[in-house]
Amino acid sequence: MRCSAPRLLRRQAGAVRGLTPTLLITNMGMLLTSHSHLRGTSVVAPSQIKQSVSTVIRQEKIHALSSFDVRHSFTTNFVYALPGANLQGPAGKALGGWEVSTIATFHTGFPWTPVTGQINSVPITSAATINPTRPSAVINVAKTDASNDSFITPDANFSGIIHQGDTVANPAGGTISAQCSNTDPTTRPGFPYFDICTPGTPGVGRNSRRGPSYFDVDFSVAKKFGLPNFRFWGEGANIELRGNFFNVFNKLNLQPFSFGTDNTRVENALFGRAPGALSGRVIEFQAKFNF
């Protein structure tokens, strides 16, 4: 595994009238030469993988972004103790002890790999069916829109792609079902972006696509109520009431892709669509007795 030199910017300012802000910005890349994706659904010995890599697989196709690579990341947070801690009497009890905090996080999406179950790749002794595998060729380059809509709308980045079993125009007349057995390549699944019907060395780079980005803002508000000095709990005892608001703006964040699922299989109608959504707004309340 190799990481490119990260460009890291971190700033933490001192408390200014109760406000303590922090900013973290990261720009980096994580590269990995991995053979694990060759295993597919078969059990393959490490020595067999090594043999297949040296004789069939092109190294430049497996040396790619790590599945956990996050190219751009931005995180900021602050904690603010509201004025009023030094007030006396009823005003101090009402206005003192309040604290609000928030954290905002943004990062670009995780990489993912288009695959297919229509062909097998890398024949190995005792493991002749390495599946799923990557398409054997890229016919046309697809769009790379990373907005949520592009992962919700069917085929948004792969306009006009043919899926397995689709009804397509037959050049000889009429219509035909999209199958790899069709003579005309323009009627096969994967067209016009991928060749998933011709066996051969994978022609698509591992983790060559980028999934949906992520944005979240969490917010918290807390209030401490001081308690009288009793022998039972000693000095400084207090009750803290806190409200936590996760994803406070209820922003839609989509799940990342997992290798080999229907959403990554070119021939599947779900190809290129996010598997689902992450959690929406969550609110929780806490009460804590400190002594």
Residue 161 lies in a domain: no
**Domain range for residue 19?**
2-147+201-290
Please tell me the pTM assigned to this model: 0.76
Q: Is 174 a domain residue? A: no
Q: pLDDT tens, position by position, for the chain (291 residues)? A: 555 545 555 555 555 566 777 777 776 666 555 544 444 333 344 444 444 443 344 555 566 778 888 888 999 998 988 876 666 666 666 677 788 999 999 999 999 999 999 987 655 555 556 788 899 999 999 999 999 999 999 999 999 999 999 999 998 889 999 999 999 999 999 999 999 999 888 889 889 999 999 999 999 999 888 777 777 777 778 888 999 999 999 999 999 999 999 999 999 999 999 999 999 999 999 998 887
Count of structural domains, the chain? 1
Q: How far apart are CA 190 and CA 139, in angstroms?
A: 9
> Nearest 5°: CA angle at 104, between 100 and 109?
160
- Asked whether residue 176 is domain-assigned, the answer is no
Asked if residue 113 is part of any domain, the answer here is: yes
